[in-house]
Structure 1
């Protein structure tokens, strides 16, 4: 079972905005560029890069998605108390 992961994410306030951004990603847009422009998380300054973190560090739904999702595939929308996330898992180990 993986204990660590690294991921990028985009956090927005509405599910509709999240779905619109996911469609742009599906059509080839850059995850980092969309995160820089649209995310409301401070990680937007790093293109949504959250770096490496331990299992259990993030809020429940986010953590579950990261540690059960497929690497390098965009996951979401994932709803948390902060809003709606698109997550790109870089690796789990």
Structure 2
């Protein structure tokens, strides 16, 4: 597997990420929460990063997305990178 597509929400603090994770676990819409809270430019697309190759993202993000079984999890994170804390939803891997 060397390609994946994912959505993410990037925030500055772990506590923000944990609060958003609770909202997502209660069924709130990922797209809307990303648009409102994410600090990444991808927020305009609801956090959609599109398809990317293994190694294209920072290591911690890449490791989380390409971990075995990640596509079966409804939500991954918070994952800490130099950009902040990510909540990640893997759409597919191939």
TM-score normalised over the length of structure 2: 0.95
Q: Deviations over 1:26-68 (max 9, x none)?
A: 0000001000000000000000000000000000000000011
Question: Structure 2: where are the runs of 5+ without partners?
Answer: none
Q: Aligned residues, how many?
A: 92
Runs of 4+ in structure 1 off by over 2 angstroms are none
TM-score normalised over the length of structure 1: 0.96
Is the CA contact (8 Å cut-off) linking 1:71 and 1:91 kept in structure 2? no
Query: What secondary structure does 1:18 align onto?
Result: helix
Distance 2:72 2:34 in 1: 18
Question: Structure 1: where are the runs of 5+ without partners?
Answer: none
What's the Cα RMSD here? 0.8
